[in-house]
Amino acid sequence: MELGSQIRNRRQALGLSQDQLAERVYATRQSVSNWENDRTCPDIKSLLLLAEVFSTSLDELVKGDIAEMKKQIDEQEKAAFRRDSNIYTALFAAMIVTCVPLARLWRWWGLAAWSVLAAVALAWSFRVERWKKKFDIQTYKEIVAFTKGRTLSEIEKAREEGKRPYQKILLAVGTGALGVVVCLVLALLLRRFV
């Protein structure tokens, strides 16, 4: 955060001591010291008074902090996207691997447990899709670039956007085929148990 150094530099440029600045913004010298050392942040009233004392806009005073905060928020969102993607991958893998063992082990109760797992995986997939929509990433190449913290060039982005309609068709066909396979497996399992 740069707010503390902004306050210190502007105070020193005006030739004010911490006590004098504290008096002008109706705070204590200790508060000013804490602000300058980034131990605490001034409240909005103090920020407005500081901007007035320094003859600057509030935006200019906290500008460096806004950029830093935005960067931190972006990093937090990327980390949340990665976490949600990993959870979805684990749920999807568990859903595929556990179908037959659960059905054979607990029969109908196993299928009920598997259905709950499938519902959770589906709900998590919607969560991941919201992240993808928010960051405008759809293709594998875009997702990999995003998770590595980089973006595609304009040309690469245009190429990937051109692939999206074809990928959506293949995804729909692949999902349908997977659904048919899962239904056939479930039908065979149910036939055995009935």
Tens-place pLDDT, residues 135-173 = 877 777 777 777 777 777 767 777 777 776 777 788 778
pLDDT over threshold 70, residue 70: no
For residue 51, give every residue at least 6 positions away whose Cβ sits within 8 Å of its Cβ, in sequence order, or none: 57, 58, 60, 61
Band (12; pLDDT cuts 50, 70, 90):
very high
Superfamily of domain 3-56: lambda repressor-like DNA-binding domains (1.10.260.40)
- Which one-letter amino acid corresponds to residue 102? L
Is the entire prediction scored with pTM above 0.85? no
What residue segments make up the domains of the chain, in order of their start?
3-56, 75-193
What is the rounded CA–CA span in Å between residue 187 and residue 177? 15
183, two tokens? 């239904």
